[in-house]
Every structure is written in structure tokens, then in C-alpha cells.
Amino acid sequence: MLSKSQARVFFLGGTGLFSAIFLALSVDSMRQIPKLTRQDQLTDQVVRGKRIWEDNNCMGCHTLFGEGAYYAPELTQVVARRGAPWIKLFLDDPKKMFPGQRKMVRYGFSDQQKDDIIAFLTWCGGVNLQGFPAKPPLRDLMRPTATTASADLAGQPEIFRTICVACHSVGGVGGVVGPALDEVYKRKTREEMIAWIADPQGLKPGTAMPKIEMPVERRIEIVDYLLGLARTPATAAPVQPVRPAVDPKDFE
């Protein structure tokens, strides 16, 4: 059995050896990180955004690179997911964008500050994170296949393309917060849709859909686009739902 002095050698020797390996790997990491993080794109604006990120302890609720608290969404890919116009609108009044839901402080950022934050988050989104965050592997099983021709995506009004898609999808492209809108024309009339966008809370108190200020022409533009989807029949046939592993009929 080991003597005490041998045990001490094991402790000191092991610690020394592994510290040396760790330091060597750290030196190599510092050599590689500029390339992995595209440091050439790390502008002053990005650094200003990082300061805002830290000065307000955004990590105290959100995660970035998966690090932070778990009270608010992961933001590494948020610019790709929501888009800059949506983020700006959201930062103006976070509570308004998620009525009745989890709250975020209204910081009152200036336009310049909002641009800085978005620059920082855009840079973060471009860092090579070794595949993180992974694409949800089961998403495709759950999502109905696109029923809208891809050509219709190009025809999206500006406001739909920048704001609405943060939550809704058309042709399988867009957010998963609200329902997909490919076939909304089957469920709602033109007037209903226009009224709904104008004041969702008024029509259905407690709904997660925010009231977004816009001139009536914008609303009409959105609704006409959605109604127009009825005229462009889907190129892809609606896919049958995935068959359950156990068919209830087997028990009959």
C-alpha cells in the first residue's frame, strides 16, 4: 500500500502534470479562438454591444452560448430566429410583445444601443460553437409539411417577413410560437383577420398575440397576402400524420 510520502508525490506530481497540460491546451485555444470566433468581424460596435449586455446582466435571465440563467430564451441565434426589426420592436416594450407572460425589464435603449446589441448578438451567432445549439432532431416529425409554394415566400409583405415570422410560419418557414398561417384563410374571413391584428387582446383576452402598432394599410397588406395563399395551391401534398407506434385498432 502507498505510504504517506508516496501519496504526497501522487498529489503534487499529478496536479503539476495536469496543470501543465491544461495550460498548454489553453495556449493553443487562444491561438485558435480568433479564427473560430471570426475575430476580424469583432468591430467596436460589437464590443459596445457586449458592454450593454454586461452592464444590464442579461445573462441573469437569458443564456448566450448556453451560458447564463434559464429564465429567458437562449440568444445565440436570436438574430437569425427573430430578425433585427422584431428585436428592436421587442426591446421598446418587452411586456407588450408577450402580453401576460414572463416579464422582461423595459430598459429604454436608444436606437444606437439597440443596433449595438444586435451587432453583438449577430457576431455571437456567427461564432463556431461546434454545432450548438443543435437543430431539434424531432422537429420535422411534429411539424406539418409545407403546403405553400416557395414562390409565395418571396411575395411576403415587408412587415410580415420581418415581424410576423418571428412567431408564425408560412410554408414551414418562421417561428413556432403561434400557429402556422398557411391555411388561415380557411378559418377566418378578411374582416375577422384585420380586426384580430388590430387588437388581439380586445377580441380574446389572455391571448399570447401582441398588439403591434401599424397603419391600417399594413394590416390589409398582411391579410391580403394570407388570403392570397388560397390561390396558390400547394406544390407539396399535405403529408399524412405520422402513424402512432401503437394503433388503437390493434386492441379492438
Partner 1 sequence: MKYQSQRVAYWFFASALLLLSLQIVYGFIMGFARVGMDGLHEWIPFNTARATHTNLLVVWLLCGFMGSAYFIIPEEADRELWSVKLAYAQLISLLVVGVIAIICYHLNIWEGRKFLEIPRPLDYLVVVNVLAFLLNIGMTLWLGKRNTTTSLVLYMGLLFAALLYLPGMVTVKNQTVDSFYRWWVVHLWVEGVWELIMGGILCYLLIKLTGVDREVVEKWLYIIVGLTFLSGILGTGHHYYYIGAPRYWLIVGGVFSALEPLAFLGMAIYALAMAKKGGRKHPNRIALTWSLGCAVMSFVGAGFLGMAHTLPQINMYTHGTLVTAMHGHLAFWGAYAMIVLAMMAYALPLLTGRKLWDTGVASFAFWTSNIGMVGMTGALAVAGVTQVALERRLGLDFLIVQKEIEMHFVGMLLAAALFTVGIGAFIWLFIRHGLPSAEARAEDFEGAVAVGK
**In the window 110-169, what residues touch partner 1 (CB under 8 A)?**
120, 123-124, 127-139, 142-143
The answer to the question of residue 173 lying near partner 1 (CB under 8 A) is no
Restricting to residues 195-214, name those near partner 1 by CB under 8 A. 208
Segment lying near partner 1 (by CB under 8 A), choices 58-66, 194-202, 209-217, 232-240: 58-66
Stated length of the chain = 252
Site membership for partner 1, residue 59 (CB under 8 A): yes
Smallest gap from Cβ 138 to partner 1, in A, equals 5
Q: Is 123 helix (H, G, I), strand (E, B) or coil?
A: helix
Residue 224 touches partner 1, criterion: CB under 8 A: no
Q: Residues 102, 187, 190, 204: which binds partner 1 (CB under 8 A)?
A: 102
241 sits near partner 1 (criterion: CB under 8 A): no
**Nearest 5°: CA angle at 186, between 180 and 190?**
95
93 touching partner 1, by CB under 8 A: no
Q: Which stretch binds partner 1 (CB under 8 A): 21-29, 86-94, 179-187, 191-199?
A: 21-29
Partnered with residue 170 across adjacent β-strands are 173
Q: How far is the CB of 69 from partner 1 (least distance, A)?
A: 5
Phi-psi region of 110 (alpha: psi -120 to 50; beta: other; left: phi over 0): beta
Beta bridge partners of 173: 170
Interacting residue with partner 1 among 27, 40, 45, 72 (CB under 8 A) = 72
Cα-Cα-Cα-Cα dihedral of 212, 217, 220, 224, to 10°?
Answer: -120
Q: Which helix (H) or strand (E) holds 68?
A: strand 67-68
Do strands 169-170 and 63-64 pair parallel, antiparallel, or not at all (unpaired)? unpaired
* Cα(22)–Cα(20) distance, integer angstroms: 5
| Binding residues among 25-44 for partner 1 as defined by CB under 8 A | 25-26, 28-30, 32-34, 36-37, 39, 42
| Residue with grid cell 383577420, as numbered in its chain | 193
Candidate residues 149, 153, 159, 176; the one interacting with partner 1 per rule CB under 8 A: 176
Give the gyration radius of the chain's Cα atoms.
Answer: 25
Least separation in angstroms between residue 25's CB and partner 1 is: 7
